[in-house]
Amino acid sequence: MANTITDRCLENNQQYAKGQSVHESSHPGKQPIQPTQRLAVVACMDARLDVEDLLGIKTGDAHIIRNAGGVVTEDTIRCLIISHHLLNTNEIILIHHTRCGMLAFTDDLLKAGLEGDEGAETLLGQATGRSFVSCQKSSAMPSAFHAFRGQIEPLDSPRDEMNTKRLEWDVRRGMSSILNHPWVPTSGSDAVTVRGFIYDVDTGKLDEVSYPGDMGSIG
Ligand SMILES: [Zn+2]
């Protein structure tokens, strides 16, 4: 028995993983500006994730905030504050996924490669299978790429214990960033809930990440 919209999305996801998507793509007609399921989803931009399909939601149900990694950045927080306080959402779902590109580089490595470091260019070429071409210029922006913590691995590596742990670390960091933000209420009548998940791009299934917990090591 589903208690929350998030629980219902998890039930829908079990159907989706069996090849029975609940999502209908027809235009629903006139709708309110407020998401009807009062849901906000933060997810990676990865081409293999169809957020509506994998959660079984439809147009008008939710705000969907996507970026490289599904990272809780300053802009993600900006969107979530507007989503909740102005547009009435009260459940947040955070989704990272297996085989994520954010496991395959570090911020320092990418910056060095972009600026012309030959060693970094070689490493990035090996990691991605694409010839990395340096721009030979520096820039203050973006200030961070938010690559995931831990030992990097080749792009699109299959799921294993270590990379699952690295994904869990970053989901928890994102949850912590949201839950501890002074403008995101987590108690009282206006409270929002935040739950984090790892989506398996091979099976279509979501696994919930426990919180609080380990948020990682740079070693
Ligand atoms: Zn990703």
Burial tier of 159 (Cβ tally within 10 Å: 0-12, 13-18, 19+): middle
- CATH class of this structure's domain 35-102+147-209: alpha beta
Q: Distance (Å, rounded) from C-alpha 197 to C-alpha 31?
A: 29
Of 10-14, 31-35, 123-127, 158-162, the least confident: 123-127
pLDDT in tens, 112-122: 999 999 999 99
Confidence at residue 169, expressed as pLDDT on a 0 to 100 scale: 98
Taking residues 82-101, report their average pLDDT.
Answer: 98
Q: Distance (Å, rounded) from C-alpha 86 to C-alpha 219?
A: 41
Residue 88 Cα to ligand 1 middle (Å): 28
Residue 63 Cα to ligand 1 middle (Å): 18
Taking residues 206-213, report their average pLDDT.
Answer: 98
Residue 187 Cα to ligand 1 middle (Å): 31
Residue 45 Cα to ligand 1 middle (Å): 6
Report whether pLDDT(200) > 60. yes
Q: Distance (Å, rounded) from C-alpha 4 to C-alpha 10?
A: 10
- Dmax (CA) of the chain: 57
Given a contact cutoff of 8 angstroms between Cβ atoms, the answer to whether 97 and 45 are in contact is: no
Nearest to 35 by CA among 7, 54, 10, 57: 57
Confidence at residue 217, expressed as pLDDT on a 0 to 100 scale: 84
Residue 156 Cα to ligand 1 middle (Å): 10
Confidence at residue 22, expressed as pLDDT on a 0 to 100 scale: 75
Q: List CB contacts of 66: < 8 A, sequence separation 6 or more.
A: 42, 43, 44, 45, 51
pLDDT band, residue 27 (cuts 50/70/90): confident
Report whether pLDDT(1) > 70. no
Residue 31 Cα to ligand 1 middle (Å): 31
User: How much of the chain, in percent, has pLDDT values that exceed 70?
Assistant: 99
Cα atoms found within 13 Å of the Cα of residue 75, Cβ hemisphere only: 12
Which residues crowd ion ligand 1, with CB under 5 Å?
44, 46, 100
Q: Distance (Å, rounded) from C-alpha 82 to C-alpha 43?
A: 17
Residue 30 Cα to ligand 1 middle (Å): 33
Confidence at residue 219, expressed as pLDDT on a 0 to 100 scale: 65
Parts of the chain belonging to CATH 3.40.1050.10:
35-102+147-209
